């Protein structure tokens, strides 16, 4: 058990870190977001989030197979799909509610879900059905629907990842290549496009699953010429950073992210390889031990994602109104500090409830659940 715990320290840390990065990346005036992944790479935290989701899924599936049975693992992820769908509904409702409360005060803020809110006010029943059928995905809830599909696919993906990884990877790449036309058949209301095409992003999830199930990195890095791969990865990261910072004149269109462009995959894989090098040398574990609160966010990932969506929308709206949409260093850092502090407090909410005298109530609720 001790060995298993140690292996998961890095995973929890990376998951917590990426949730914090997603938080500040969705605050327009954030100063910290000027230094996060998207600032110097062609990909952003989304690839890390989905890859880690695949890696964590494989870890949980294999562990449950060992402790109980494969049928129990399959049933667990069918239930997980429902949990993610429920989280999507909660997040969508919170985006609409938050936008409804904030619009009278911060109506000029660009990220309020005003279009979805207006549709809901005009035709509540229709809008509700659209949300339940994934046809409408209010701001920041849009990453969760594809995870529902991923969870449903786990009973098929995991056995292939363990026995026929190359077949799984080939099928995943083929589906990724066909993703743009597949997007036309995704359910949508009023010609709304999904922010994340699951037919494309499944490749990043599958790569995470295979990375967990197959010892590709240890075999390559352990070879006497393995250092060449690390040097090549560093060259890719530096080359794409140069392109992003000094050559790229404008931002890419929505399809570049929606359909997971190949350049994003290459950039992410290079960064992930270097991160694996740091992990192998123990650097990530030492950092994780110095910042255990980051790992706590990662361990409570789904709840922290939902809470982070609300926090970022509120902080972004207030900051935009205070600064008139212009960058303001003091206000930007203050917004970062508030948002990060609130999200770091989420995993410790039980302590807060205990301090306020609500501990017995929450404990009873958990017991009933």
Residue 368 pLDDT > 80, yes or no? no
Residue 136 pLDDT > 70, yes or no? yes
Confidence band, pLDDT 50/70/90 cuts, at residue 3: very low
Domain ranges of the chain: 2-368
Q: How much is the pLDDT for 8? A: 80
**Are the C-beta atoms of residues 127 and 136 closer than 8 Å to each other?**
yes
Cα Rg of the chain (Å, integer): 21
**Are the C-beta atoms of residues 292 and 13 closer than 8 Å to each other?**
no
Q: How many CA atoms lie within 13 A of 307 on its CB side?
A: 20
Average pLDDT score over the chain? 90
Q: How much is the pLDDT for 340? A: 97
Q: How much is the pLDDT for 56? A: 94
Residue 192 pLDDT > 90, yes or no? no
User: pLDDT digit string (tens) for 174-187?
Assistant: 999 999 999 888 99
Q: Stretch 198-202: mean pLDDT, rounded?
A: 97
Residue 249 pLDDT > 80, yes or no? no
Return the percent helix, strand and coil in the chain, to nearest 5: 80, 0, 20
d(CA 133, CA 218): 42
Q: How much is the pLDDT for 248? A: 77
Q: How much is the pLDDT for 191? A: 74
User: pLDDT digit string (tens) for 51-71?
Assistant: 999 999 999 999 999 999 889
d(CA 92, CA 114): 12
**Are the C-beta atoms of residues 13 and 291 closer than 8 Å to each other?**
yes
């Amino acid at each position: 058990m001790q060995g298993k715990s140690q292996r998961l320290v890095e995973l929890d840390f990376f998951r917590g870190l990426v949730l914090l990065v997603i938080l500040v990346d969705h605050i327009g005036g954030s100063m910290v977001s000027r230094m996060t992944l998207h600032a110097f790479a062609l990909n952003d935290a989304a690839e890390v989030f989905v890859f880690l989701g695949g890696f964590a899924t494989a870890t949980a599936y294999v562990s449950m197979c060992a402790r109980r049975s494969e049928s129990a693992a399959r049933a667990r992820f069918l239930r997980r799909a429902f949990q993610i769908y429920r989280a999507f509904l909660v997040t969508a409702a919170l985006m609409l509610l938050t936008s409804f409360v904030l619009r009278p005060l911060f109506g000029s803020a660009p990220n309020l879900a005003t279009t979805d809110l207006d549709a809901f006010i005009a035709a509540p029943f229709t809008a509700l059905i659209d949300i339940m059928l994934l046809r409408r995905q209010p701001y920041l809830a849009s990453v969760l629907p594809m995870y529902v599909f991923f969870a449903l696919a786990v009973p098929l993906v995991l056995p292939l990842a363990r026995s026929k990884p190359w077949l799984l990877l080939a099928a995943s790449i083929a589906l990724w290549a066909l993703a743009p036309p597949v997007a036309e058949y995704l359910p949508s209301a009023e010609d709304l496009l999904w922010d994340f095409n699951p037919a494309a992003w499944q490749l990043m999830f599958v790569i995470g699953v295979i990375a967990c199930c197959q010892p590709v990195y240890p075999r390559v890095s352990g070879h006497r010429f393995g250092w060449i791969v690390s040097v090549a990865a560093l060259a890719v990261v530096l080359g794409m950073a140069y392109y992003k910072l000094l050559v790229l004149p404008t931002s890419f269109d929505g399809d570049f992210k929606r359909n997971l462009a190949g350049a994003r995959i290459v950039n992410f894989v290079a960064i992930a390889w270097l991160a694996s090098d740091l992990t192998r040398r123990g650097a990530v574990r030492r950092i994780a031990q110095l910042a255990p609160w980051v790992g706590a966010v990662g361990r409570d990932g789904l709840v922290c994602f939902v809470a982070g969506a609300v926090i970022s929308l509120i902080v972004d709206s207030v900051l935009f109104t205070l600064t008139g949409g212009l960058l303001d260093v003091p206000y930007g850092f203050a917004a970062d500090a508030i948002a990060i502090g609130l999200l770091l407090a989420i995993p410790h909410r039980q302590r807060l409830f205990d301090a306020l005298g609500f501990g017995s109530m929450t404990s009873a609720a958990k017991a009933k659940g």
